Amino acid sequence: MTVIKNSVLQRAIILSAALTLCLSCQPKRNAGDEHKWWKEAIVYQIYPRSFKDSDGDGVGDLKGIISKLDYIQSLGVTAVWLNPIYSSPNDDNGYDISDYRSIMKEFGTMQDFDELLKGLHERGIKLVMDVVVNHSSDEHEWFKQSRSSRTNPYRNYYHWWNAERGKPSSRYSLFDVNHDAWKYDSLTNAYYLHYFSRKQPDLNWENPKLRHEVYDIMKFWADKGIDGFRLDAFQFAAKDTTFKAFPEGYEKNFIKYYAMGPHLHDYLKEMNEEVFSKYDVMSVAEGAGNSFQDAHDLVDADRKELNMAYAFDGVDIAKPEGYNVIHFKTVFTRWDSAFADKGWLSIFLANHDQARMVSRFGNDSVQWRALSSKMLSTFIMTMRGTPYYYNGDELGMTNAGFDKIDQYRDMPTLNEYQHQKDTGGDLNKFMQRIKFECRDNGRTPFQWDSTANAGFSSNAPWIGVNSNYKEINVAQQEKDSTSCLNYFRKLTQLRKKYPVLVYGKYTQMDKICRHAYAFRREADGQKFLVLLNFASTVSQINAPVHPDAQVLLSNYPGAEDNKGKLSVNLRPYEAIIFKY
Ligand code: NOJ
């Protein structure tokens, strides 16, 4: 460890650096500064299927969530995003909706929903619902009608290609066993399009009738009093319906070809006019196109489309072989700069489509799990942009790392396994890969306590419980003031207490440090310095700490010793938030 003596000279250098900074970076007001509740929100994402089962069928449900409302409130989060809870045959765990106005049987009833919404609101927590309208379920009445005949009034709710025209040009399906997005249907001798599974036919947004049906559905939920919408896969909703051929190999970069199709912005403007503008609701889209320009075009306030989008550049960085911290810092810094003056960002490192945050970005060994998980939470809660925090990460839940294919439940994973088998792929390699990155890793039952099934259900859950539930669970962490859970609560309090963490200008420091990350946040004369070590070894980072800085939070004791230093030796996975 390099120890730098705190001399009078050094103190003078730091003070003068701080002064220069003060003079040159007077916080200027800009579009991003306009205060909004959704910018200040701390969104906690609940995967209902795995959160809490109240009736012993092994599947989480709304009553289960209701029974945990006090826990959710205790986290200090201000909004909940619920993955889809609508009627669904569950080919893709609710992302295949068969009735947008009713609740999935396993999850409960509309009465349960009303109670849940009331319970959240009583606790000052908003509710954001998933809207899945790039596609529906093939069991939706619209699709049943649509496929019944070529002349059915619902035919144009979906994309059909009559077979006498020959086979349409290739479209890649993300989830299909053959990756073919055109499914032949003999009933009307035509193909229908499905970017996801064949049970998720794509809706035809060119049809104004369909669009207005969707707006009516959104209004139905907004009238119930929900506070926001997360638009699933919406960047793919608009298509060039001439279906011209894409160049060979396009599927390796399908987002380039699929995202931001013709009229997408017209649809969003219309949705804004018809729905968002009429309620105090927030809107966030999954996917942000192919460039910063695309992202801006989705969210710049004067365009009147969406409030936020979330891009995958950050979350995609972690790979089974590890990742480069400089790359991580560069990506997040670039996104921040692109939105420094206009627009608004979302910040997240995990969700239901990813394996666990600590297993991907941190270190899930017994020695480092808690420290690295707290460090990652510190990152999310101190960056600019609205944080989306995935349930279970507050405990530092880890990947389940299933070894056998029959332990997996995720449809695209099972389809891909079959595909690999059919095409002579390397199944061992495939199993190694999914052990690290399959999204089922993030979908195992929430670990409430050390009783059977982790206190999630009185019966065998729909997917296996992580074998470490006796060590990692809420009951155990409630008792420990230094637990990940209690650390997360401190983070949410800080974010709510100091708006500078929401709105303040972000400046990266020491861009070349290979293992640690330092950035400043500042506004209205308040400054924060955040130091994060992403390594299991000590990392030295050049980030001067003001002599009068106050340690607001750290995952180690003794962080005060760094006050007045020009560079800091961070202990493994150390995180410190200074204020000065
Ligand atoms: C994105 C959702 O987050 C994911 O879970 C789902 O499988 C696809 N969209 C299809 O709806």
Q: Which atom of ligand 1 is nearest to the CA of 353?
A: 5
Compute the distance between CA of residue 92 and CA of residue 498 in angstroms, rounded to an integer. 40
Count other Cβ atoms within 10 Å, centred on residue 365. 10
- Residue 83's φ and ψ, nearest 5 degrees, are -65, 165
For 141-193, give the CATH class.
alpha beta
Query: pLDDT of 502-552, one tens digit each?
Result: 999 999 999 999 999 999 999 999 999 999 999 999 999 999 999 999 999
Rounded to whole angstroms, the Cα distance separating 89 from 73 reads 31
Please give the pLDDT value at position 33: 63
Residue holding tokens 């006498």? Answer: 164
- pLDDT value of position 7: 46
Average the pLDDT over 292-311 and give the result.
Answer: 96
Q: What's the CA gap between 253 and 529, in Å, rounded? A: 38
pLDDT of res. 8? 43
Q: Residue 86, by phi and psi: left (phi above 0), alpha (psi -120 to 50) or beta?
A: beta
**Per-residue pLDDT for 264 more than 60?**
yes
SS3 content of the chain, % helix, strand, coil (to 5): 40, 15, 45
- Looking at residue 86, its amino acid is Y
- For 202-232, the pLDDT digits (tens) are 999 999 999 999 999 999 999 999 999 999 9
| 8 A C-beta contact, residue 23 and residue 17 | no
**Residue 372 contacts residue 358 (beta carbons within 8 Å):** yes
439-443 average pLDDT score: 98
Query: H or E element: which one contains 522?
Result: strand 516-523
Model pLDDT, residue 32: 53
Question: How does pLDDT run across 389-405, given as a tens digit for each residue?
Answer: 999 999 999 999 999 99
Integer Cα distance of 219 and 22 in angstroms = 47
The predicted pLDDT at position 27 comes to: 42
Q: Which residue is closest in CA terms to ligand 1's atom 5?
A: 353
Bridge pairing between strands 526-533 and 516-523: antiparallel
Asked if pLDDT for residue 12 goes beyond 70, the answer is: no
The average confidence (pLDDT) of the chain is 95
- Total residue length of the chain: 580
Burial class (CB in 10 A: 0-12, 13-18, 19+), 116: buried
Proportion of the chain above pLDDT 70, given as a percent: 94
| Residue 24 CB coordination number (10 Å) | 7
Query: Starting at the edge strand that comes first in sequence, how are the strands of the sheet with 190-193 ordered?
Result: 160-162, 190-193, 182-185
Neighbours of 467 (CB within 10 A): 11
Q: What is the pLDDT of residue 24?
A: 39
Q: Could you tell which of 132, 234, 438, 440 is best to mutate to test the pocket of ligand 1, judged by most ligand atoms within 8 Å of the CB?
A: 132
Q: Are the beta carbons of 173 and 196 closer than 8 angstroms?
A: yes
Backbone angles phi, psi at 389, to 5 degrees: -120, 125
Pairing of strands 386-390, 346-347: parallel
For ligand 1, mutation pick of 92, 138, 284, 443 (most atoms within 8 Å of CB): 92
- The CA 83 to ligand 1 mean position distance, Å, reads 10
Ligand 1, residues 196, 310, 346, 414: which to mutate, most atoms within 8 A of Cβ? 196
- Ligand 1 closest atom vs CA 196: 10
At 172 the pLDDT is 98
Give me the half-sphere count of Cα atoms (radius 13 Å) on the Cβ side of residue 9.
2
Q: Are 369 and 477 in contact (CB under 8 A)?
A: no
How remote is the CA of residue 557 from the centroid of ligand 1, in Å? 41
Distance between CA 176 and CA 415 in Å, rounded?
7
* Residues 6+ away with beta carbon under 8 Å from 256: 250, 290
129: left (phi over 0), alpha (psi -120 to 50) or beta: beta
Crossing angle (nearest 10°) for helices 264-274 and 292-299: 20
pLDDT of residue 16: 44
User: Of the candidates 215, 219, 192, which has an alpha carbon nearest to the alpha carbon of residue 204?
Assistant: 192
Give 38-135+208-400+441-492's CATH code, choosing from 3.30.950.10, 3.20.20.80, 2.40.70.10, 2.40.10.10: 3.20.20.80
Average of pLDDT values for 285-295? 96
Q: How far apart are CA 354 and CA 410, in angstroms?
A: 12
- How many angstroms is it from 275 CA to the middle of ligand 1? 23
Residue 82 near residue 48 (C-beta atoms within 8 A): yes
Instruction: Please state, in angstroms and rounded to a whole number, the distance separating the CA atoms of residues 257 and 380.
Output: 31
Residue 9 has pLDDT above 60, yes or no: no
Q: What are phi and psi of 307, to 5 degrees?
A: -85, -40
Confidence of residue 101 (pLDDT cuts 50, 70, 90): very high
CA of 233 to the centre of ligand 1 (A): 7
**Contact criterion met (CB below 8 Å) for 343 and 32:** yes
Token pair of 68 as six digits: 């945990």
> Contact 569/543 with Cβ under 8 angstroms?
no
CA of 97 to the centre of ligand 1 (A): 12
Which residue has the CA at smallest separation from atom 4 of ligand 1? Answer: 353
Report which protein residue has its CA nearest ligand 1's atom 3. 353
Q: How confident is residue 130, by pLDDT bands cut at 50, 70 and 90?
A: very high
Per-residue model confidence (pLDDT) at position 31 = 45
Longest dimension (CA), the chain: 85
- Confidence label for 446 from pLDDT (cuts 50, 70 and 90): very high
Distance 93 CA to ligand 1 centre (A): 9
367 has a pLDDT exceeding 70: yes
What CATH topology corresponds to 8-32+503-579?
Answer: Immunoglobulin-like (2.60.40)
Tell me which of 93, 95, 137, 410 to substitute to probe ligand 1's pocket, judged by most ligand atoms within 8 Å of the beta carbon.
Answer: 95
Strand partners, 386: 346
Strand ranges inside 198-304, DSSP E: 228-231, 282-286
Asked if 100 and 130 touch (Cβ cutoff 8 Å), the reply is no
Which run of H or E residues covers position 545?
none
Q: Are 496 and 382 in contact (CB under 8 A)?
A: no
What is the mean pLDDT of the segment spanning 325-334? 98
Residue nearest to ligand 1 atom 6, measured at CA: 95
Query: How far, in Å, is the centroid of ligand 1 from the Cα of 92?
Result: 8
Q: Is the pLDDT of residue 495 over 70?
A: yes
Residue 23 has pLDDT above 90, yes or no: no
Of 346, 334, 323, the closest CA to residue 511 belongs to 334
Q: How far apart are CA 446 and CA 568, in angstroms?
A: 37
Structure tokens at 565: 């230093």
Query: Which atom of ligand 1 is nearest to 134's Cα?
Result: 11
Model's pTM, two decimal places?
A: 0.94
The tokens of 568 are what? 């800091």
The pLDDT tens digits for 369-380 are 999 999 999 999
The pocket around ligand 1, CB under 6 angstroms, is made up of: 92, 95, 132, 196, 232-233, 286, 352-353
H or E element at residue 314: none
Q: How is the chain split into domains, by residue range?
A: 8-32+503-579, 38-135+208-400+441-492, 141-193, 403-437
pLDDT at position 3 is: 32
Catalytic residues: 232, 286
Q: What is the pLDDT of residues 145-188, one digit of tens each?
A: 999 999 999 999 999 999 999 999 999 999 999 999 999 999 99
Instruction: Please determine, for residue 382, whether its predicted confidence score (pLDDT) is greater than 60.
Output: yes
For 45, list phi and psi in degrees, rounded to 5.
Answer: -90, 125
